[in-house]
Structure 1
C-alpha cells in the first residue's frame, strides 16, 4: 500500500526543512520534479552530518520508533528501576506482585524481565544445593523433587502477568493495524490535495484538518513507523511546494512553525541544566518527536540557524548522558572488585574448614553474611556478569560440599545422640505424673539441662524426639505451676493475715514486767511464723515486723545480741520454708564472709594502735579502741548466728 514510499528518504538534520528547501530551489529552476529530486537532496544533506550527530539522532529516532506502538512508554519511564539483584526471593515476588497489580501491563516488561532473571538465578542456586544435600544424605538423583511456597507464589503472579500481557497485546495488535490503515488513508488524501481544483484557502484548510487527524491517529506497528512517517512527510513537503503559489499561506505556516520550534529549542536548552540525565534525554526524545512529527518547515532564512541551535542542545544532553554511562561503568567495575573480594573470602573460609559443630555453625553464618554482601554489592559489567555469578556459585557450592562431608561424618555420633535423647524421653515420660514434687522437680530440670548438652541427631528424627520430650516436660511443669498457683492463693491469704497482725502489734503496749513482756514478744514471733509463707514480692512486710520488734526490744532495754538472735530465728524459719535450697547455703557464705571481715577490721585497728605514740586518754586512741570493741561485738553476733544456722542442719 505504500507505493509512494522511497527507502532512500531519511529525515535531514532539521528533521524536514533542508529537504523542503532544496526542493523549492529545484522547482524555481524547473529542472526536475520535486518527488524525483527529494531522495538526492536527502542523501546530500545526510552526507554532511557528522558521524556523532547522526548517531545521536539515530538513537532518538529508534527510541521514538519503539515508543510508537507502546502506549505505556510514558508510564514505563516513570516506574523506578530497583536493585532487584540485591533482593531475596520473597522480596522479588512482592515487587512483582506490586507491579502486576498497580502498574499498566505494557509499562513493566523491563522490570518483570529483571525480576524473573534474578528469581530464576536464586531459585536455581537453591535447587542445586538442595539436590546436592539430598544425594549426600543417600538419596537417588532420579527421586529428587523440591519446591517451595515462594516458587509457587512466583509462578502464580508471573502467570497472571503473562495472561494480562497476552490479552493486552492481542487487543493492541488490532488497534495498531486499524491506526495504520487510518494513517495510510490520510496519506492518500494528502496526495490528492495538489490535484483538487478548488480555492487554495479551502485546500489549505483541508490540509490542516489532515494534519490534525494525523496527530490524533494513534500508535502503529513499530515495523511500519519510519516508512509511514517518511511517506507522510514526503507528501507534506510536496504540498508546501504546491503552496509556493500562495506565499501568504505558506509564510504564515513558516512563521507559526518558527515560533513553535524556538519554544522547543528553549526547552531543549533548559534540559541541559537538568540533574537527571535520563529524564532529560526522555524529554529531549519527546521534543524531537514533536519537531519531527507535529511541525512543518520554516523559511530558508532561519532554517539552518534553528536546527544548529536544537542540534547543539541535543549534543550537550547526549554528551552528559554518555558521561553518566561512563560513570556507571566505573561504578560497575568497582562493584566487580567488591564481588571478587567476597568470592575470595568465601574460598578462604572453604580452604580452612572447621573441626567441630560450633565452628561450622560460625562459618555457615560467615558465608551467609558474605552471600548477603554479594547480592547487596550492586551490578557488575554485563560482559562479566555470568562469569562472576558462576564463580560465586561455585565458591558457595565448594563450601557446602565441605560442610556436608563434615556432617556426614557425624552420622554415627548423631545416632548415638539419638539413643541418649530417647533415654531422656523415656525418663521424662516416667516422671511426668509424679506427685513427689521435691524429688522430681530437680530431676526434671537436670534432664532438660542434659538434653541441651547432647549434640545433633539425624534430621528425620529430630522433630519427633523433641516433640515427645517437650510434651512430657510440659506436662509435668504445667502440673507444677498449677500447684504453685494454688499455693500463691494461700500465700496471699497469709499476707493479708500478717497485715492485720501488724496493725494489732502496733497497738501493743509493754506491761512493765520485763520477763513477761519478753515472753509475749516471743509469742508474737511464734504466731507470726505460724501464719506461714507469703508471696516473694510482699517480703517487705517482714522488715516492718522487725522494726516493731526493734522498738519493743529497745523499750525493754534488752541486750542487743539477744534481741538480734531472737529476730534471726524468725529469718531462718523463712529460709527453711522456701523452695530454694540455695538460700540457706548463700546465708552461710554471707555470714562467714562477715565474720572474716570483722576479724580483718579488728586486726587492722589493733595493728594501727601500735603506731600511736600516745597514752590511753588520747582522743584518737580512745576512738580506735571504741571501734575495736564495736567490731568484737559484731563478731560475736555473727558467730552466734552461724552457730544457730549450723544447728538447723543437725
Structure 2
C-alpha cells in the first residue's frame, strides 16, 4: 500500500487545509478509529469520500494507519480472517487511489488560487504605494485614510497564499502599513486610538502565548502559535515608546514555543531512529532464526514460533520509524515472518507424512505384540517383547492424536503377558528346579558317552546307544538357555558313535555284497542287470541328496524350530552321503567282477 503523497506535498496540503478550532475533535476521531475493525475503517473512508468536501489528509492517514495495525495483529492461523483482511486491503487501496487523484486535483486548484491571490495582493501593494505619492501631492488625509481602510479590508479578504511567497508579500504590506501610520499628516487622535486598540489586542495575544505552556500537545500548541503570529502581524503598531518592549516580549514567547516545537521534533526524530534500530534488530533476529539450521524437530519449531510471536508483540510496542524508512522496515519484517511460517508449514507437512509412516510401523508392532501375548515360552517371549519395545522407541514419534491411544494398545499386550508370567512364577520355579536336575543328569550322560567315544569300541555299542537314548529322554527338559548347547553336544557324540557303527556296517554290507555277486547266475540274474539296477539306485540317492542340499540352502534358521529341523536334515544328509559312498563302492566292485568275467570268456 503506497503512501498518499511525499513529505513536501503533505506539508503544502496541511497549510492550505482548514484547521479545526477544537483539537479535542481530532483526538476523539482518532480514538473512534482505534475502536473500529478493518472493514469498518474501510467503510468509513468510503463514506467520507462520498461527501462533497474532500476529507483532510490527516484523517485519511489515520484510517490507513489503523488498518495497518489491524493487519499486523491478524491471526496467522485463521485463513478466513486473513482472506477477509486481504479483501479489505484491496478495497482500501482503491479508495486511497481515488483520494489521491481527487487530492491532486484539489492541489492544482489550490495552486491556481494561490496565483490568483498573489496577483490581487501585488495589485493592492501597488495601490498602497500610490497612496504615499498622493500624500506627497497634498491629498486630504481623510481621503487617504479611507483608501487605506479599503485597501486593508481588501487585503484581509484575499485568501491564502503559497507559504513560500506569503512571508515576503506580508512583510512588504506591513512595512507600508507602518509607514502609513507614521505619516506626519495623520490625525494624532486617530493614531493614538489605533495605538491603544492595537496594544490591547497584542497584550491579549501575549496572554494567549503565555497560556500555550499549559497545552500538553506540542503540535496543537504550535498550530495555535501560528494562528497567534498571523493575528499579531495583521494588527497595526502601538506607540513608539512601547513597540520595542512589546515586540521583544512577543519574540521571546514565540521563540520559546518555536524551541519547544523544535525540541519535540528533534526528540521525535531521535526516538524514530531508536525505533528503527529496535525494529532492525528484530528483523535480524527473525532472519537469524531462519538461518540457524536448528529447526529440525517439532519442539524446536514450537519454541521458535513462540519467539516469533514474542517478536511480533514487541514490534507492536515500538513506535514509528522515520517516514522514509518506516514502510521499508515493515516490509522486511513482514517478509521474514512470512518466510518463517511458510517454512514451518513445509516442515509440518513432511512431519505429518513421516508420522503416518511411523504410525504404520507401530501398528505392525502392535500386531506382533498381540501374537506373542498368549505364549507360554516365558523367557523367549520376554526377550521378544523387549525387542519390540526397542523397535517401538527407535521408530520415532507419531501425531499426538494417536500417540496415547496406540501406546496404551501396545502396552496392554505387555501387561497381559507379564501378568500371566507373574501368576505362573511359582510353577515356573518348580519347573526350573526340575530342569536343573535334568541338566545335571544329561551332563553325566555326555561324560559317559565321551569316554566311550574316546576309548575302544564296545561290542555291544548299538545296545548301549539305545540305552543312553532312553536315559536321555527320561531325564526330561533342561533350562531353556542350556537346551540348544547340550542337545548339540549330545547329537555330536551320537553322530560320532553312529558313524563308527555305520563304518562297520558298511564294511560288512560291502563284504556280503561281494559274496552275493558269485550267486547272481544261479539266481537267474546277470552282472549287467545288477549294474543297471545299482546305477539307478545311485541316481535316486544323488537326486535325494540334491533335495537335502536345496532345503538346507533355503531353510530359515532364525527360529528355534528352524534350527532343530536344520540339524535333522543335516543328519539325514550325512547318512545319505555314507549310503552313496557304499553304493559307489558296490559299483566299483561290480565293475571289477564284470572285467574278470570278460577275461574268463576270452580265455
> Which bin holds the TM-score, normalised by the shorter protein?
0.3 to 0.5
Bigger radius of gyration: 2
Structure 1 length-normalised TM: 0.43
Structure having greater relative contact order (Cα 8 Å, sep ≥ 6)? 1
Structure 2 length-normalised TM: 0.46
